[in-house]
């Protein structure tokens, strides 16, 4: 719970790869909105991921976790890179930092807005004719269940044969709570919810579908449909405009949101919020949907927009600073409309203004 109505404590975990450079821009934009909208943040910068391993010997150092516990929200960059890929899976930045944070804070509701702005239709790999005017999807991904955390989990020898084992398990209560988050979100948008599962094969999906149908009775104003995940993957590239809100389990959501991101034009545009009590919550972890992009790290060319929009989601969901959050979203739309493009968004079209990470941050601050 924020301590003072106008001061929010943020744990800043920039991490690895492009994390620190895009985080720097998000914090500069945050400085600008703070002075414009009259609130304050107290920020604690902490090591996480590979930076945690290098500086403190662990992907999620105890002092980082303590700072997160003391904070109202976590602004997260990205973790991982080739340097740490040879570590045992449990110690690697992704499994050693991000997943424990999600579990520790019960961040079960992952909201990933997939917005293809009208000006970025050309950057999408989908044919322009299929997405006139762009589109706007919200994917609600369950984040603390399914195969990521299911037990048993095992890799080793059993009965004279080496096996790898993961468990896809959901409790009814876990499906109910994510269903409610998704229905609430749909209610606040175009009132259409598509639940994605694999009910033609998986028992967990049959249960998922039953629960979705049961919760639908509480939301008669929302239209619920179901889609198999293989079909959903295809429909996202065939006709993304058909979707309003999608809801799905952890692993399906991981895969579909990367697909959704690129269909929107670039992985560098998509923010996310991971919340512990649906959209009414204060606490949350906010991070770009893309990864640490080690190939372009340190070059000053990464697109900071996903990080900036993640900071905007933090203002919206944790701080309830709606006007400031709207201003961030609007500023991003303005600079895109004005033609500013980092390399990932550039198509070579006339009128494009090519910028790097800092240049994009500057343009967004100016547009505020
Ligand atoms: C994501 C990422 C993570 C996930 C990885 C880094 C563990 O891909 O947030 O989508 O699989 O959830
Ligand atoms: Mg992913």
198 has catalytic annotation: yes
> Each residue of 82-127: pLDDT tens digit?
999 999 988 999 999 999 999 999 999 999 999 999 999 999 999 9
pLDDT band at 241 (very low <50, low <70, confident <90, very high): very high
Cα–Cα distance, 227 to 220 (Å, whole number): 19
Identify the DSSP state of 155.
E
Ligand 1 pocket member 254 (CB < 6 A) = yes
pLDDT band at 280 (very low <50, low <70, confident <90, very high): low
For residue 47, what are its two tokens? 């090591």
pLDDT at residue 149 greater than cutoff 80: yes
pLDDT of residue 276: 93
Percent of the chain clearing pLDDT 90 (strictly above)? 94
pLDDT band at 51 (very low <50, low <70, confident <90, very high): very high
Average pLDDT of 181-192? Answer: 97
Cα–Cα distance, 353 to 219 (Å, whole number): 45
The residues whose Cβ lies within 5 A of ligand 2, an ion, are 254
The enclosing H or E element of 197 equals: strand 192-197
pLDDT of residue 18: 97
Average pLDDT of 339-354? Answer: 95
Ligand 1 pocket member 94 (CB < 6 A) = yes
3-state secondary structure 52-104: HHHHHCCCCCHHHHHHHHHCCEEEEEECCCHHHCCCCHHHCHHHHHHHHHHHH
pLDDT at residue 5 greater than cutoff 80: no
Q: Is the pTM of this model over 0.85?
A: yes
Decide: 183 and 200 in contact? Cβ < 8 Å.
Answer: no
CA of 254 to the centre of ligand 1 (A): 6
pLDDT of residue 35: 93
pLDDT at residue 76 greater than cutoff 60: yes
pLDDT of residue 330: 98
pLDDT at residue 278 greater than cutoff 90: no
Q: Give the total residue count for the chain.
A: 368
Average pLDDT of 14-43? Answer: 97
């Amino acid at each position: 719970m924020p301590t003072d109505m106008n001061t929010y404590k943020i744990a800043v975990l920039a991490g690895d790869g492009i994390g620190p450079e895009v985080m720097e821009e998000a914090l500069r934009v945050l400085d600008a909105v703070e002075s414009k909208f009259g609130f304050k943040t107290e920020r604690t910068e902490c090591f996480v991921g590979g930076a945690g391993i290098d500086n403190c010997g662990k992907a999620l150092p105890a002092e980082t976790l303590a700072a997160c516990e003391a904070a109202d929200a976590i602004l997260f960059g990205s973790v991982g890179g080739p340097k740490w890929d040879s570590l045992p899976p449990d110690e690697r930045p992704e499994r050693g930092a991000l997943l424990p944070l999600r579990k520790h804070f019960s961040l079960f509701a992952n909201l990933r807005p997939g917005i293809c702005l009208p000006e970025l239709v050309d950057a999408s790999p989908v044919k322009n004719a299929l997405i006139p005017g762009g589109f706007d999807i919200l994917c609600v991904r369950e984040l603390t269940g399914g195969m990521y955390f299911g037990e048993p989990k095992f890799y080793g020898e059993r009965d004279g044969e080496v096996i790898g084992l993961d468990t896809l398990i959901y409790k009814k209560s876990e499906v109910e709570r994510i269903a409610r988050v998704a229905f609430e979100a749909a209610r606040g948008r175009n009132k259409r919810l598509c639940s994605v599962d694999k009910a033609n094969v998986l028992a967990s999906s049959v249960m998922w579908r039953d629960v979705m149908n049961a919760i639908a009775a509480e939301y008669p104003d929302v239209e619920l449909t179901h889609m198999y995940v293989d079909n959903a993957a295809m429909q996202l590239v065939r006709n993304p405009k058909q979707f309003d809100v999608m809801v799905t389990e952890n692993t399906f959501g991981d895969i579909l949101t990367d697909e959704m991101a690129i269909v929107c034009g670039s992985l560098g545009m998509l923010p996310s919020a991971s919340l512990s009590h649906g959209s009414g919550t204060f606490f949350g972890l906010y991070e770009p949907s893309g990864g640490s992009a080690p190939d372009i790290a340190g070059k000053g060319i990464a697109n900071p927009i996903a990080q900036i929009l993640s900071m905007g989601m933090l203002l919206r969901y944790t701080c309830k600073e709606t006007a400031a959050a709207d201003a961030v979203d609007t500023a991003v739309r303005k600079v895109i409309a004005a033609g500013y493009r980092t390399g990932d968004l550039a198509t070579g079209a006339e009128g494009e203004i090519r910028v790097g990470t800092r240049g994009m941050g500057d343009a967004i601050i100016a547009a505020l």
